[in-house]
Every structure is written in structure tokens, then in C-alpha cells.
Homo-oligomer: A and B are copies of this chain.
Amino acid sequence: MPASAATHLLTAARIHTGDAARPVAEAMAWDEEGNLLALGSAEELRRRFPDAREHAQPGAVVIPGLIDAHAHVMGLGFALLRADLVDAASKEEVIARLKAFEATLPPGAWLLGRGWDQNDWPGKAFPTAADLDAAFPERPVWLERVDGHAGWANSAALRAVTRDLSGDWQPEGGRILRDAQGRATGVFIDTAAALVDAVVPAPDDALRAEALERSLEAAAKHGLTGVHDMGVSLADLGLMRRFADEGRLPLRIRAYADGAAAALDALCAMGPYEHPDGRLAMRGVKFYVDGALGSRGAALLEDYSDEPGHRGLLVTEPAAYAAAVAKARACGLQPASHAIGDRGNRIVLDTYEKVLGDAAGGDHRWRVEHAQVVHRDDLARFAALKVVASMQPTHATSDMPWAEARVGKERLHGAYAWQRLRALGVPLALGSDYPVESVDPRLGLHSAVTRQDRDGQPPGGWLPDQRLTPEQALHGFTAGAAFAASDEDLVGRLAPGLAADFVVLDADPFVVAPAELPELKVLSTWVDGRPTYLAD
């Protein structure tokens, strides 16, 4: 290999740089370490770098590498190792899918699945263990709801729980659904799911590595070059570090420690974690304040519109949450707090305001994850406190069939209010929450721009004044996400001095009809100037 091969030159029909100084180019050059050297016309760059190795992509369009600002990396990996129940239209379809999946399992292994949503079924009632028992009398079955905030067990799984689930007690921050006789029906809300999770055999090291590899592969294939992994254990960080050491991380993972647990203590002792190759870092902590809207766990200031007397659940006690945020601050870490309901969001804002004190309004980049239903009076506080709103466009299009039933018309003013927050000056970072939603960021771009489902429903989009332009949507999945992880000097745009992280598409996302965004083809994905995915 001649020394001149150290410079690379990519030419394409168009390169959207995301860089205000040069928004569009047709060529870019980078060095062997993957640092961008220059962008410009193909002619100019060929003249400047005559010995560069050229990657010609005629007709293709390049965008900065896509970054998912909120996802669960190991969760996706295990989801890929579990039965997929997303969009099953009935309990019968769930059972048919489980039967097909069971064929891949050894005898005695638990059958795990995820993605069911009773709102998609006739009657919309929660299922019960009995629904599964005829098909699976012996093998334990444990199925996570689409939003991760509820679980559904068969009787074999219930038998594995040693604690007596009947009676009238409830765990803190969760709910065991019971029948009139006080017996558990098989559905467990929020923290109650831990009763069953605790008896599921733990995956061994080989299975964990397999899950990570599948997750990374799926992400790279869809054009992701980075992900903010929300809630990572110390052990999972160790696994990711091993992958980074071995050069097996095709994404830049920005891991957020899983709450006030071992990883937070480790970061407080050793300082924020940075892998030397730039592919892995842990500089922040994920906290959970409330549950989710679908399972009515999101904490609301007033009653649920479709369940009078119920206002959701706090997963963490506000005082304990405030102490954990203060600890994160003292340790120099960035908090990222899950808040869905307007009460959850208010608790986060109140806490951030109090803990930051005079530093509120500074460049702290403290994050609210989801910011899904925000009280009308609290929208401007996001801007005043300089909080980053980390939001997921596909949650809006998944929830739109029933969100109004949960919260009513008035509260929709601050619900999934991307454009309203943006207009107030709030930095937006966009993500998917995969595996809760699909890992595919094209679906996120589509939801963001259209607020419609794939069939174009509802016409004009749901709450259409909150749609984003294609440029705004792409910004949220690139520079906006990079900013939320303090990575803006490394990625998020294509400019000299930054990393050559980019995606090669077959068409221009700013030119195709919004409805066609999910059809964009990812031709290749590149990180540090090297391909992490190449389509056939």
C-alpha cells in the first residue's frame, strides 16, 4: 500500500454537511485516522489531494452520520433474541408468533417476547396468564409490553415467582393486576414487573455478547453512527469496552449510567469514562422519574382523562431523585431524566432548577428524556433552564391513536410539542427509544416530518403544527444529538477537523416526498472514515 493511500476522497451527487459555513459539497477528503480534511467541489479536492484513494458514489447523497439520542443498546440485542410481538393485531396473532418462535428454543428455556400492545387488539383489555396457558402449559412465557412499562406472564412463569402474588399488597411504584378473588392475572405494571424479571434466568456472557453484536449490526445497517444508550449497567459498560478494545464497535456509544447504582459510584470515583478510541464514553446518568403513558404509569398533575382518580406513578421518590441528581452534579456528570407526564416533567424541571442554582441557564446540557406531556406553564422553563429536550418522533405516531384519550384535548398543547419547544429556543435531540420503537432512523425522520403513520394517516398529520421540516428533523438526529452528548466538536456535522462519520443514501432526504423517507436506501455507513455497513 503506497503512503498516498493514507488520504481518502469521497465524491457523490451531493453531500449535506450540516455545516452552516458550507451546507452542500460534492466531495470530501479525510486522513487515515478518519479526520475530515476538506469539503468542496470534486474538482477542487481532486486537485488538492491528487494521490487520495477515491470512493466514487455517483448519484448518491451523503448526510452526516445519524445519531440516535435515546435508545437501549442491550435491550435491542435481547429483543432480537426474543419473539417480536410488535403490531400483532390480536391475542391469537401473539400466540401464533410465539409458537413459531418457540421452535428456535431449547427445552426448558423461558420463552421471552416483547412488543405487545393491548390497544391494538379488539376490546383493548389487558390480557391474562390464562390466554397463554393452553398453548404453553409448561414452558414459562414472559412478554414485555411495547413501551417496556408492563409485562405479561403465563401461569408457568407465575409459578416460578416464590413470593405470593395474591392479596391486596402492591409494590412501590408499580401494580400487580388482580382478579376479583385477589389473584394475580398475569400483567405487572412498572416496578411490579421486577417480581417476574427476578426469576428469569440471567443471560450468560456469551449470550450478552451475542445480543450486543446483533444490536450494533442492526444499528449500523440503518445508518446509525452513534447512539446515546440510556441506562447502562457497569457490567454492560465492561462488555462494550471489550468490544471497543477489540475494534468491534461500529457505533459511537454514549452510555448513560443506570441511575443511582454501581455505575454511578464508579464514575464518581474514577471520573467520566472515555475509551481512548472515541467510540465509547460514559459521562452521564439516566434517571427514571415516572412511567409511560400507554400503561398509565406517566405521572400527571391531574387525573387521566380515561381513568378518573388515577394520576400515574412515580418510579423514583422526588427527594431520592433530587439527591441522585445532586450527586451526579457533584461528580461532574450529566443527568438525563426520563419524564413522560406533566407531573414527571415538572419534577425534573423543579429539581434541575434547584440543584443547578446559579448554574441554571449555563451550558450544562442537562437532559429531559421524552418530555412527552409538558404542562403549558412549563414549556418556557425548558428554555429558561437551558435544558435539552431529548424526544422521539416515532413515539408520537405510535401514541397518536390513544394519546388524546389518556390526557384530553387541553393537555395535548404541550404533548409531543417538538416545534413549540424548538421555537422557544430549546435544543432538540431526536431518537427512537429502540427497541421500544424501531431502530430505523428513517422512520423517525418520517414521523418527525409528517406526524402520520406509514399509511398517511391522519391526513395532514396529527397536531400538524408540531411537524418538523426535513432539515430540522435531520438536525435533531445529527448535530442536535451530538450537542446533547457534548460531542459537537467530533460529530454531527461534516466539516474539517471533525470525524468522517457519514451515511451514503440513494436519494436526497430533502428532495424526496416526506411519505417516501422510509424508502431511502442506506447504501453504506461510515465511522472514522471506514465503512461499518455496506449494502450488497
Contacts and interface: CB of A to CB of B under 8 A. Distances in A.
Interface of A: 234-235, 237-238, 241, 262-263, 265-266, 268-271, 273, 331
B271 A262 contact: no
Contacts of A262: 262, 265-266
Contacts of A271: 241
| Interface residues of chain A: helix, strand, loop or mixed (majority) | helix
Q: Which 3 A-B pairs have the closest CB atoms?
A: A266-B266, A238-B269, A234-B269
A202 B235 CA distance: 29
Contacts of A331: 238
Given A235-B269, A266-B269, 15 more contacts: A234-B266, A237-B269, A237-B270, A238-B268, A238-B269, A238-B270, A238-B331, A241-B269, A241-B270, A262-B262, A262-B265, A262-B266, A266-B266, A266-B270, A270-B273
A273 B267 CA distance: 11
Nearest to A240: B269
A454 B91 CA distance: 86
**Counting chain B CB atoms within 10 Å of each CB, which of A241, A262, A266 scores highest?**
A266
Contacts of A265: 234-235, 262, 266
A366 to B, nearest CB: 22
A255 B515 CA distance: 59
Nearest to A233: B269
A244 to B, nearest CB: 10
Contacts of A263: 269
A295 B271 CA distance: 40
Contacts of A269: 234-235, 237-238, 241, 263, 266
Contacts of A237: 269-270
20 contacts: A234-B265, A234-B268, A234-B269, A237-B269, A237-B270, A238-B268, A238-B270, A241-B269, A241-B270, A241-B271, A262-B262, A262-B265, A262-B266, A263-B269, A265-B266, A266-B266, A266-B269, A266-B270, A270-B270, A270-B273
**Counting chain B CB atoms within 10 Å of each CB, which of A270, A273, A331 scores highest?**
A270
A83 to B, nearest CB: 30
A525 to B, nearest CB: 27
A270 B244 CA distance: 11
A276 to B, nearest CB: 9
A415 B331 CA distance: 46
A242 to B, nearest CB: 10
A238 B265 CA distance: 9
A456 B504 CA distance: 82
Nearest to A275: B271
A265 B234 CA distance: 7
A234 B266 CA distance: 7
**Counting chain B CB atoms within 10 Å of each CB, which of A234, A265, A268, A269 scores highest?**
A269
A260 to B, nearest CB: 14
A12 to B, nearest CB: 39
A208 to B, nearest CB: 13
Nearest to A265: B234
Contacts of A266: 234, 262, 265-266, 269-270
A263 B270 CA distance: 10
**Counting chain B CB atoms within 10 Å of each CB, which of A235, A237, A268 scores highest?**
A268
Contacts of A238: 268-270, 331
A281 to B, nearest CB: 11
Contacts of A234: 265-266, 268-269
A456 to B, nearest CB: 46
A465 to B, nearest CB: 45
